Amino acid sequence: MQFLHYRELAKTESEFSISEEWGQGRSIFGGLTAALVLVHIESNIDLTGRDLRTVNIHFCGATLADTSCEFRHRILSAGRSVIQIEGQLLQNGEVKTEIIACFTAQRVSAIEVVAPIKQFPVAVQDTSKMSFDFKKGSAPFFVSYFDLRQINDNFPFSGSTNSLITGWMRFAKPSEVLNDATILALIDAWPPAILPMMTTKAPSSTITWNVEFMHPRADLQIEDLLYYECSAIEAGQGYAHTEGKIYHPNGQLLALNRQMVGVYDKVT
């Protein structure tokens, strides 16, 4: 089932299961579960006039395929300008994915700092033949739902001395303008930025994830691809911290991305 199928379920249903085709190791793809919790929040609370500014995500346990998922939410605080909301995905009464989303209303301020326009190393029109060639068994099935065009050579498990991953991204069959929930899913579709430095295949798992969205932002078109860059800023003792940026095709900064990743390359 496509992402949009589950997104529509999350808008109206508080309980449903997710197919194993979205599996990643023993868990459902975290980008999907986080996005669905966000959709659940946005569909059940009036957020008129407010922009999503930050999402803090904790993956508390593996979300099992073909097992009922329950969605819950509660407002933690609600002021004139800022509202903070907790959302959860549970299975068998246990929290598997939890997010804290912060929505803000626009305010008048004399302070304004504008991020510089990004100059892309490879233009999007030059990447049409760079999409990952999905082959059954070589990557989780859900990867086939995304159009990811990596433009550097730091591929997973290549033993690179550099962790940087850069490229363009969208859904394989774009059908609507990207929104915050779909951008979340896109960001997490990329492999963790620590994997290029590994020489052999080994598991990794995102434990915490933070995304900050920039506003105002230019409109997007249905066929647009977003630019992604991410690298490890520190790694050791079995954990890595990565930092990334996501850009509008016009070079405008859209989001900041940070993850703490568990790395299981040594068996103890």
Sequence spans of domains, the chain: 1-111, 113-268
pLDDT tens sequence across 12-65: 999 999 999 999 988 999 999 999 999 999 999 999 999 999 999 999 999 999
pLDDT at 129 over 70: no
Q: What is the mean predicted confidence (pLDDT) over 222-228?
A: 97
Give the mean pLDDT of the chain: 93
* Statement: 1-111 belongs to CATH 3.40.190.10: no
Bridge-partner residues for 55, per DSSP? Answer: 101, 211
Q: Strand 50-59's sheet: what is its strand order?
A: 15-16, 69-78, 82-91, 94-105, 50-59, 204-213, 253-263, 239-247, 226-236, 165-171, 146-150
pLDDT tens sequence across 144-200: 999 999 999 898 889 999 999 999 999 999 999 999 999 999 999 999 999 999 998
pLDDT at 135 over 70: no
**pLDDT attached to residue 130:** 66
pLDDT tens sequence across 249-261: 999 999 999 999 9
- pTM of the entire predicted model: 0.94
- The architecture in CATH of the region 113-268 reads Beta Barrel (2.40)
